[in-house]
Structures are given as structure tokens and as C-alpha cells.
Structure 1
């Protein structure tokens, strides 16, 4: 696994920068004859694209995917699938004032220190625009998983201090796409939207939590030591821009319980072993147990805020600087399909790896 690749058998290698000519990737491991529904893939990209609502960045990119190889007559051939999305609405001039400035909490200083060079236009490779490639690969992974009845649904469960007070079982997740913040509870969604808008008007940003549920994953995904299913899911989620935390099952909430309160007792449902509760989040011993896999992903407030901040420049001088450009006040609405995509890539990869043991 290289620094620009994720996965073992189902593997994505991405390329491109925020203000370069294009972003794209190569996907390996797609099973031959998998139906490649390009309309579905584009609809997934549309969920991530900028400019889709008043609470997202106004950057206007169509994000149309162009496939270059690996598909014939609407089906995967089993060879690498290469694709590209051309950047068409860059405003690199917006970043001229920070060419020699290290923006607070950005990758500017660490990239410059590590490589001795950085693309200051929109963050270059560190920009969340790279996640376009993940969404394409995730959409294709979803198409593979759908053939096995596996579904993945993410949703916004918390924005700043506003959060859902119901578990995912109590929610109608079909309502997630019915509002611009992608929260399945309409009343809470309205509060989240209003809060994000207030933050946007104050030129600030806000973070929150995206929750995700994977249904119908088979028993046996993951290995018991270094390749635990929750470990690779955690790596997948923590590789997403602005992610600060990952927990599955009860997560940190389990620390408040005794073993007798946390254990998931087994019972038989016909010839299937089930658990009476699912505090483990569908994973035990690093291996899926057939129950719903669910987890939370914590996103920080994005670092780009349109107000004056103290920082330093490449000459080591302490200065004040104001960032320009077009940015999201809250990344969560557009990050929902990214979380789903990385979950789909992870599950598809584990399924292919698991076949080696059969």
C-alpha cells in the first residue's frame, strides 16, 4: 500500500490536486462482468460536488467522470479501471496572498517541511478535492456489494452542539437525502442548517459527526491481529480530510459500562447465530459477526475561515493573514458520500481477501 493507494485486492490509487488540470484514479480488483452503472456513479459524485446548496462552497464544478479503461459494454472487464474528472472552476488567484504563509491548522507548514515544496493553490494534494476519486471507487464498490445485498448508509448525526437523540434503528434513513445537511430527522436537520448558516455569516466554520451503518455484511470479514475489520475501517475514515476521530459500536461509551452490561449475548434464529444486542457494532475479535456494522466519524471545523488570524510565513516572521477563496462552512453534508465510499471500498476489499480463505 503506497501513500497514494488504499486497499489490498480492491485497490484505489488516486492522483491530482485541487487546482491542477484534473483529479482521477485507477481502480484494481473490480470483479469481471460487474455492471458499471455510470448514471449511479455520477449521482454519487453529485452528492459530493461543490455548489449544491447554500451551506456548501459556491465553487461550481460539474465533476463529470470520464472512464478511460477497464469497462466494455457497460461491464467491468477485470482489468484496471482508469478515470479522470477535469477541474474547470479553479480560482488560483484567490491563493496568491498565502503563497508564503502557513495557514493555521492546514498542511502548509508540514508539507513544506517534509517535501521542501508545496502547491499553495487550494492546498494542492492535501485538498479534500482528492476525495472525488474515492467517491468514484466507492460507487463501483457499492455496485459490487449490491449484488450481495450489502448496503451502506451514512448520515449527519451531529453539527456543533446540535445532535440526533435517536439511535439509527429508530430513524428512517431513507429520509437522509431529503434535506441539504443529510440528516434523517427533519426537525433536527432544520436546526443544523440554521446553525451552519449562522456560522457561515460570521465567516467561521463548524464540525460534527457522520454516522454510518453497513447492513448484510457476511460473517468473517477481517483478520484477528493487524488487519482487523474495525482497524481498516478506522484507517479508511481517518484518511479523510478533517477527520479527527473514529469509533465503532458503543465506542468510548463502552467505558461507562461493566462487562455484564456491555456483552452481546448470543441466541439462535433458525440456523443463524445472532446477538440479542449489538454493542460491539457488528465486529468481534476484529471479524464481522453478521450483525449491522455501525460507526461514528468525527469531523473538525474546517481550518479555512475567512477572518484574520495570527500565523508565520516562510521567513519565520509572525504576521496576521486572512484567507480568501470559496470554502464550506461545514464539511459534513458533502462528506456523507465520502464516508460511504471509503466504507464500501473497505468492505469490498475484505470480501475479496476473504475469498482466499475459502
Structure 2
């Protein structure tokens, strides 16, 4: 059994290890705060809040006009199971046991614990990586679709299209892939599209590649430069803080601020091929009114209800880690990470998507 691999190991010890793992390097826990629920269905309700509807001036002895209740749109779907596993083979276990027999210091024991917990951390991160991929993919495209090019299995029942209106998915007059783009005019158009949808857009999200193209535009360089640099004809590519400072001075941009999405996620497909990249789509800017976009809904796992299991199991937040041994045909230690979870975008209909390399949205 697995407990023979490290004498005295108990679930509470694995819990202590798992409790050291953090999600601070991920965007989704802040974009989509983690929320537990009992059912395996999520619902995103969109209410047109913040509308400053005025009362009418009416004559005495007249009835008071009735106003419409804010429209509620609902998008829902099933919460998928996310999981992965990793194995330690007989060769590794023999090496581990030899090292354990030779261990004679606290440092040796620490290294043994790290060896044992390596797969635990891998599986914990694997669940978080997929949730991150889903979150960033959908907010940069308005939808998420699972195919054999981005998932080891095709599971179309979990595809989601947030049905963002066509008027809130736009292109630009001049592509950012070439020179001469009027970036601030494009931002102004996006803010107007948001206003038409009763949304006050405050944040522009983009990945590093898109930002790099933006700051190479002459307009951004000149507007972000100091008076002295402009007077001396000094051309310098601005950084994020400089660009945001410039944007904050443009009253007609509603205090818009850029947030960079700098993330790399590796997907391993069924054939073993690995692809690494930023899930946030290139040449896209997402405009939102808030830094919180929805909730990561998670539900109980079937594994939690099994009585008398010999496997070691521990759960933290939405992720369950399980370790068990297989004795035939060869001795193998298996570690699994799993979660019933999905980051649901609850403000999609109040956001605007802009494609920066085309005159219209065609993604």
C-alpha cells in the first residue's frame, strides 16, 4: 500500500503539504472568485444594474407611470469534471526506498518529502492550469470550445458561447500590426459601445504580444512621452505605467486603464504533444467595467462520498488530491488531481471585445 512508501504518513500529512500550495500566480481566482455549490449546473445571471432611471413629472390626480423591471438574461451550463493523474513506477519506488534507508538528517528527510509530494503539486497545478485556460480563453473570445486541439478528449457538452451582441464585438480602422493606428480613437469607440449597452467600461485587458504592438504605434509613443522628450524629438517606447498615466489624462476615455494578462499554460494532448502559450487570444482587447467578471463554481466530487477507501485523499477549496497504489501487473503509485469546477462569466453582456488586426470581429 501507499503508506509503506513513507512510514507513518497519514491524510493529515498530505493535507499539510497541499495547504502550502497557492493560486497567487493565476488570474482566475480574482477574476472569478471561487464559490461552492451543491449542483453540477451553473447559471450566470446578467441584470442591467446601475441604470439611473428618472421618475416622471406628473400632474396631480394622475396615476404614477410604471417602469419596466431590468431585463435579466441567463446563460447556464454543466460543471465539468477536470482531472489528471501521474504515476511513480517501480524503478522510482525502488530508488525512493533506497534513499529512505540511507537518510540520516533532516535535510535528507526534507528531500524525501519533496520527492513524494512532487506528483501532488503537479496534479494540484494541473487542475488550476485548466481552470486558468478556460477563464482566459473565454474572456478573450466570448466563448470557449473544447476540441482535440486543446483537450485530450472532445467534450462538446461543456462548450459555452456567452452570446455577446454583435454591436459589442468590433474591429479597428487601422490594424495594430501596421503603423499609423489610432489606438485612443479605437478605445473611444469601445467605450461608446459599452455606454450604448449601459456599461461604464473602466479596464482594457490584453496580452503582452498585443500590448507590444500597441506601444509601438507613433500615437501612443508621442502621447505618452514627456513634454521635454517631444521637444527634443526623443522617441521612446513607453511601459505600462506610462501608458496608463497618459490614458488617465484623457477625460474622454473615462479613466480607462490597461491590465496585462501575462500567462503561459501548457496543454498535453492525447497523442502526447504539448503546446505552450497564453490562453488570452492575441490581437484582442477586452473592455470591462470591473476586475471581477464572474464566479468559479465548484461542486462536490463523487470521490468524496466513497466509504472505506484505502486511498489517501485530501481536498483544498475546489481541488481533491488522491494517492493510491496498484500492485499488479507492476507496483505503481498513482496520484490524481480532480475538481468539478467551471469559471462562469457573469458580466459578458456588459463587456466589449475588440479585434486589433482586422476592421471587424471575425474570431
Report the TM-score range of the alignment, normalised by the length of the smaller protein: under 0.3
Q: TM-score, normalised by structure 2?
A: 0.25
Taking CA–CA contacts closer than 8 Å with sequence separation of 6 or more, which of the two structures ends up with the larger relative contact order?
Answer: 2
Q: Which has the larger radius of gyration?
A: 2
